């Protein structure tokens, strides 16, 4: 398989993922999950991991052709089934100390033409079965990292007006630039960027806001923060003691909203790509944390289906701040890929919260997370509400306000 990224750049990307992202420890096993088309990157990641002292690298590949075969030939019952044994095994690997690396490189429109009910059932079965594998990840029991690799269908979607080869080249270049591996010293670039994100998170934690107030076109939202919430961004120390940067790229500082304390109206500033459906111009109204009205100019029925997934699907699990000047936002591109799009702008996420975004006394106890306002759901879907027209104020515990964002940029 020929890679659209040169061997030297592939090696840089892999090295940043293994050494800066995962910070893989000598003697640590590594489990990679990846689509087959990412094989050239996986081979480099495997090399870099062994060079870093990995005890064993195991890759679980998925093949989009096999996914499509299921929709084409599978029986109706097949769409409620998921490989629980595999996710349980992955969960055991992570709990026993393996690092986790996910390569995100899929065709965002793969299932666009498929039966929406089957897609939704298959996703639900998968989400439920995947819990044992995701639990050690969302609770940071081990060091983990997600990184991207070009996919031809993805490239054509992001760059629709050029040839296939050119689109792949442009996407490859964008991935390298946005992943901060295009400079002479990616490790130093990441260290500097990480420090900047930590400074922002520290400032927000010092302020200890009880809520954020968003104002902008179509948006007038008061978003209460969970009790004992903690802002995080950049690297963090997983519970196995390893400092890792989970997402490459990452531009956000984020925390947990209170699931019952969100009120007002908010409008999306970018389309949401969800399983091959582009949901455009989302606008929703919250009452006591729950979405009570929702609309979209395109894909509204899919949006409403998503909100009905379970009780927590119409409540928020994450709030993230990203300046409009972030490299992804400045690229002006819609990537149809959460890892990229969520780092383009301020966003909120429907569904499951991250226990990591709580004080130490809370985050290790699921009951305390819940009691502090942490939302629970099978889904976690980010959508963009930031732009250069958004102002955000922090509301302190005494009711006073502090400017946080002005016209999409940090106020100070």
Residues at the interface with its own copies (CB under 8 A): 1, 26-27, 29, 36, 39, 42-43, 46-47, 50-51, 53-61, 63, 65-66, 69-70, 72-75, 77-78, 81-83, 85-86, 88-90, 92-93, 96, 98
Nearer to its own copies, 9 or 48 (CB): 48
302 touches 274 (CB < 8 A): yes
Neighbours of 265 (CB within 10 A): 14
395 touches 212 (CB < 8 A): yes
Cα 206 to chain centroid distance, Å, stands at 25
**Core vs surface per residue 41-69: b (16+ CB within 10 A) or e:** bbebbbbbbeebebeebebeeeebeebee
Q: Shortest distance, CB of residue 85 to its own copies, whole angstroms? A: 4
Q: Shortest distance, CB of residue 304 to its own copies, whole angstroms? A: 28
Q: Shortest distance, CB of residue 91 to its own copies, whole angstroms? A: 8
Nearer to its own copies, 78 or 281 (CB): 78
Nearer to its own copies, 26 or 160 (CB): 26
Nearer to its own copies, 132 or 327 (CB): 132
Sheet of strand 347-351, all strands in order from the earlier edge strand to the far edge: 232-233, 253-255, 316-321, 347-351, 380-384
Q: Shortest distance, CB of residue 14 to its own copies, whole angstroms? A: 11
Q: Shortest distance, CB of residue 129 to its own copies, whole angstroms? A: 10
Nearer to its own copies, 112 or 125 (CB): 125
Nearer to its own copies, 29 or 408 (CB): 29
Q: Shortest distance, CB of residue 391 to its own copies, whole angstroms? A: 49
């Amino acid at each position: 398989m020929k890679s659209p990224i040169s061997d030297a750049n592939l090696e840089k990307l892999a090295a940043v993922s293994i050494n800066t992202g995962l910070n893989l420890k000598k003697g640590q096993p590594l489990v990679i999950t990846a689509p087959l088309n990412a094989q050239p990157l996986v081979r480099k990641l495997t090399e870099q991991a062994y060079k870093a002292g990995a005890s064993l690298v195991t890759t679980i590949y998925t093949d989009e052709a096999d996914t499509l075969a299921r929709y084409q030939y599978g029986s109706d019952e097949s769409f409620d089934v998921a490989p629980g044994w595999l996710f349980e095994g992955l969960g055991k690997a992570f709990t026993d100390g393996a690092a986790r690396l996910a390569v995100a490189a899929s065709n965002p429109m793969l299932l666009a033409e498929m039966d929406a009910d089957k897609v939704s059932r298959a996703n639900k079965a998968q989400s439920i079965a995947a819990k044992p594998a995701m639990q050690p990840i969302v609770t940071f029991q081990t060091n983990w990292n997600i990184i991207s690799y070009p996919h031809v269908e993805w490239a054509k979607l992001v760059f629709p007006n050029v040839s296939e080869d050119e689109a792949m080249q442009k996407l490859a270049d964008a991935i390298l630039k946005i992943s901060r591996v295009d400079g002479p010293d990616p490790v130093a670039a990441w260290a500097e960027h990480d420090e900047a994100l930590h400074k922002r998170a520290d400032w927000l934690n010092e302020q200890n806001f009880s809520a954020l107030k968003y104002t902008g076109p179509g948006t007038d939202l008061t978003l209460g923060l969970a009790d004992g919430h903690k802002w995080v961004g950049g690297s963090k120390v997983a519970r196995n003691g390893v400092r890792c940067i989970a997402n490459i790229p990452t531009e956000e500082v984020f925390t947990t909203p209170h699931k019952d304390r969100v009120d007002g109206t908010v409008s999306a500033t970018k389309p949401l790509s969800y399983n091959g459906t582009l949901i455009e111009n989302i606008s929703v109204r919250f009452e006591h944390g729950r979405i009570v009205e929702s609309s979209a100019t395109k894909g509204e029925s899919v949006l409403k289906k998503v909100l009905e997934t379970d009780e927590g699907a119409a409540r928020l699990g994450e709030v993230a701040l990203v300046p409009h000047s972030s490299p992804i936002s400045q690229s002006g591109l819609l990537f149809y890929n959460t890892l990229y799009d969520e780092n383009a702008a301020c966003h909120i996420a429907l569904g499951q919260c991250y226990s990591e975004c709580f004080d130490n006394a809370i985050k290790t106890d699921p009951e305390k997370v819940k009691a502090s306002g942490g939302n629970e759901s099978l889904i976690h879907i980010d959508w963009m509400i930031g732009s250069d027209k958004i102002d955000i104020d922090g509301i302190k515990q005494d009711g006073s306000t502090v400017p946080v964002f002005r016209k999409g940029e940090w106020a100070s």
